[in-house]
Structure 1
Amino acid sequence: MKLVLFYHSLLSDWNHGNAHFLRGIVTELKSRGHDVQVYEPKNGWSLSNLLDQYGEQKLDELRQYYPNLETNFYELDSLNLDEVLAGADLVLMHEWNDHELVRRVCEHRRQNNYKLLFHDTHHRAVTERESMAAYDLTHYDGVLAFGDVIKELYLKEGWTQKAWTWHEAADTRVFFPHTKAETEGDLIWIGNWGDEERTAELHEFLLNPVKELGLKAKVYGVRYPDHAIKSLAEAGIEYGGWLPNYKAAEEFAKYKVTVHVPRRPYVEALPGIPTIRPFEALACGIPLISAPWEDAENLFTPGQDFLVARNGEEMKQHLQSVLQNQQNTQELVAHGLSTIQQKHSCSHRVNELEAICEELGIAPEKIHNPSKTTVAYAE
């Protein structure tokens, strides 16, 4: 198949968590012999911040981890859709795109035969309905939603006539257990502060337990306000700033445990959607303790893949248990890793996408070409 993907950025994951999944999906599709073209806006917000703060050398570093990834830059005013979409079988439009681009591709689809899907990986369908309702999906063939609740919302609101649940997953070519060097500390957390969407939760489930237990901890992320930096220092937590996502597996190997603190919109309005962080942590074989969220879609087995802390006191107890009981911790790690390998890799998601392509009527020989060559990747 020829696939054309419109995303905010393939190159930058600076405050752009969708790049994690996108890179893994593009890599997997290419490994199966599909022709994949990614388009991102020139001078996009995430990439511009990355280049301003860290320079071109970070893009050189990215290519060491993803040597087969390429992107195309466009300017909306001069974008020629006839050229870009010529010969396409499937077009994916991510929800973090300009309304005008979504509309123009919608109109282009009306007179062409490729299949067009809208890909939603955010909580804005719940928290910013007016903005999402403004997207023109009239001639889209359906929506890929990263959770059942989002899928059902699109159908209920009449924004689309067809929708599939397509969860995020771990890119296991990059996220896998690394040989543990000498540990640098007890706990690591990778995540952005969250626009005040989880400030109280971060204090209860991360900062306070670390401080009260006297753990050596490090936090990575961007857009931390001054009060957050101060709170980390008061808890004795080292702040590492932005960490390229492809380096997360190496950092996980230096610590003994990590935690998951979901943002409030996911906990309150989007049960069943954990975001990509737990997938990646479990894929790396690091013990995970999570603040409460409802696994409404049975993605995992809480208590066996990871531990759940209902409050800050339970978080302290779980942390002590993980750090002190090596046998139980090894069983937890093995169970979580097995779940990812059996159900939640980007390979599994591409299998699901190929099945959707068949349902949409794309020729099977394009989806499952027996003559395609598989690219070998070293881990």
Structure 2
Amino acid sequence: MNITLFYHSILSDWNHGNAHFLRGVVRELQERGHQVQVYEPKNGWSLQNLIKGYGEEKLEELQSYYPGISTNFYTLETLDLDEVLADTDLVLVHEWSEHELVKRVGEHRKQNDYKLIFHDTHHRAVTERESMAKYDLSNYDGVLAFGEVIRDLYLQEGWTTKAWTWHEAADTSVFYPHENEGEYDGDLVWIGNWGDEERTAELHEFLINPVKELGLKAKIYGVRYPKHARKSLANAGIEYGGWLPNYKAAEEFAKYKVTVHVPRRPYVQALPGIPTIRPFEAMACGIPLISSPWNDSENLFTPGEDFLVARTGEEMKQHLQTILTNKEKAKELAAHGLETIRSRHTCAHRVDELEKVCEELGIETAKIYLTQNEQSPA
């Protein structure tokens, strides 16, 4: 297939978690012989923050992890959809896109025979419903939603007539266990952004306070940490590492004995079944994971076997002590989580699902399922 993707960025993951999944999906599609073009807005905020804070050399570093990764920059004023979408079979437009782009691509679809899908990977359908309702999806063939609750909402609100659940997953070409000879830099590592005050209390209860009270050696990576947050880390003896390129996370996980997952409040309260991408990636790296509560209503994992669940800060302390003192338990937990990812939750699994959607929409099966001999150059 010829596939065109409109996303915020594939180059930058600065406060932009969708780049994690997008990179893995694009690579998997290309390896199967599909032709993929990514378009992102010129001067997008994530890429601009990355370059401003860390320089363009980070884009060169990205190439060593994703050889040949590329994008096309556009502005709404100069975007020629006739040119961009000539001979395309499938178009995905991400929900971070401007309303005008979503509408224009939909209007273009009316005059052409490619398939057009909207891809939603955020909680705004619940927390910013008025803005999401303004997206004109009338000419779209359907919606890919990263959880059943989001998929159902699109159907209930009448925003679309077709929708599929398409969870994020781990890009196992980058996220896999790295060798460790038993020499660790510390006990606990956490990789995540502060979260616009969406999980401040939770971060204190399930991460900062347990580390402080247990006297653990810990390091935290992420961006948009306000002064009061950095002060809390310092008071707990936690080292703050700033932004970490996502493709380096696997190397960091290998340097520590345990990590935790602290989901943002909207996902816990209103969006059960959506873990976001961080736990997928952690388990793919073979590090023991402990999570604060979230409802795995779609049975993606087996809580207690793939990861431990701490319902309170006190329980988090108990679980951390268990993992840090019981090597066999830690090894067993990590192995179970890793096997679950490899068997069900990789980008290859998600591309399998996407290809099934394409088949349902009527794209020629010869284009969807390329044989080894028929593959065009990636």
Common fold by TM > 0.5: yes
Which string of whole-angstrom CA distances, capped at 9 and with x for unpartnered residues, describes residues 266-302 of structure 1?
Answer: 0000000000000000000000000000000000000
Deviations 1:330-366 (A, max 9, x none): 1111110000000000000000000000000000000
How far does the alpha carbon of each residue in 1:97-116 deviate from its partner, in whole angstroms, 9 at most, with x for none? 11100010010001110000
Structure 1 residues 269-284: aligned runs within 5 Å: 269-284=270-285
SS at match of 1:20: helix
What is the 5 A alignment of 1:25-44? Answer: 25-44=25-44
Residue 105 of structure 1 aligns to a residue whose secondary structure is helix
Which of 362-371 and 312-321 deviates more?
Answer: 362-371
Which residue identity does 2:25 align to in structure 1?
Answer: I
Q: Confirm whether residue 179 of structure 1 aligns to residue 179 of structure 2.
A: yes
Task: Check conservation: 1:31, 1:374, Cα contact below 8 A.
Answer: no
- Asked whether the 8 Å contact 1:185–1:255 carries over to 2, the reply is yes
| CA deviation profile, 1:217-247 (whole Å, cap 9, x unmatched) | 0000000011000000001000000000000
Q: Give the aligned partner of residue 19 of structure 1.
A: 19
Mapping for residues 1-379 of structure 1, pairs under 5 Å:
1-181=1-181, 182-370=183-371, 371-373=373-375
Q: How many equivalent pairs are there?
A: 376
Q: Distance in 1 between matches of 2:202 and 2:329?
A: 26
- SS of 1:186's partner is strand
Q: Residue 195 of structure 1 aligns to which amino acid in structure 2? A: D
Structure 1 residue 68, shift from structure 2 partner: 2.7
Does the 8 Å CA contact 2:25/2:347 hold for their aligned counterparts?
Answer: yes
Shift of 1:375: 8.8
Q: What is the CA distance between 1:373 and its match in structure 2? A: 4.6
Deviation (angstroms), 1:180: 1.2
With normalisation by structure 2, the TM-score equals 0.98
Q: 1:374 to 1:192 in 2, by over 3 A?
A: farther
Q: Residues of 2 paired with 1:372 and 1:78: CA distance?
A: 35
Identity score, percent? 76
**Paired residue secondary structure (2:37):** strand
Q: Secondary structure at the match of 1:334?
A: helix
| Cα distance between partner residues in 1 of 2:337 and 2:374 | 33
* Aligned amino acid, residue 235 of structure 1: A
Task: Determine the C-alpha separation between the residues in 1 that align with 2:315 and 2:53.
Answer: 38
Q: 2:256 is paired with a residue of what secondary structure?
A: coil
**Structure 2 residues without counterparts, runs of 5 or longer:** none
For the residue of structure 1 that corresponds to 2:179, the secondary structure is coil
Deviation (angstroms), 1:191: 0.2
Which string of whole-angstrom CA distances, capped at 9 and with x for unpartnered residues, describes residues 309-328 of structure 1? 00000000000000001111
Give the 4+ runs in structure 1 shifted more than 2 A: 371-376
Paired letter, 2:52: D
Q: Is the 8 A contact 1:137 1:159 kept in 2?
A: yes
Contact 1:291 1:311 in 2 (8 A): yes
Q: Give 1:85's aligned amino acid.
A: L
Paired with 2:281 and 2:206, the residues of 1 have a C-alpha distance of 19
The answer to whether the 8 Å contact 2:34/2:376 transfers is no
Distance 1:216 1:268 in 2: 31
Once residues 269 and 368 of structure 1 are traced to their aligned partners in structure 2, the CA distance between those partners, rounded to angstroms, is 37
- Cα separation, 2, equivalents of 1:230 and 1:276: 27
Letter of the structure 2 residue corresponding to residue 9 of structure 1: S
Could you give the per-residue CA deviations for residues 127-157 of structure 1, whole angstroms, max 9, x where no partner exists? 0000000000000000000000000000000
SS of 2:8's equivalent?
Answer: coil
Structure 1 distance, partners of 2:350, 2:269, is: 26
Match of 1:257, as an amino acid?
A: V
Contact 2:5 2:39 in 1 (8 A): yes
- 1:374 Cα deviation after fit: 9.4
Offset at residue 75 of structure 1 (A): 1.0
CA distance in 2, matches of 1:28, 1:171: 9
The 3-state SS of whatever aligns with 1:240 is strand
Q: Which amino acid aligns with 2:222?
A: G
What RMSD in Å do the two structures reach over aligned CA positions?
Answer: 1.0
Q: Alignment partner of 1:161: what SS?
A: coil
Q: Which residue identity is paired with 2:277?
A: I
Separation of aligned partners in 1, 2:247 and 2:277: 13
Conserved? CA contact 1:27–1:68, under 8 Å = no
Q: Please report how far the alpha carbon of residue 329 of structure 1 lies from its aligned counterpart in structure 2 after TM superposition.
A: 1.1
Amino acid of the residue matched to residue 4 of structure 1?
Answer: T
Offset at residue 372 of structure 1 (A)? 4.1
Amino acid at match of 2:102: V
Partner-residue secondary structure (3-state), 2:132: helix
Deviations 1:158-192 (A, max 9, x none): 00000000000000000000001521000000000
**What is the Cα deviation at residue 369 of structure 1?**
1.6
Q: Could you tell me whether the CA contact under 8 Å between 2:125 and 2:150 is conserved in 1? A: yes
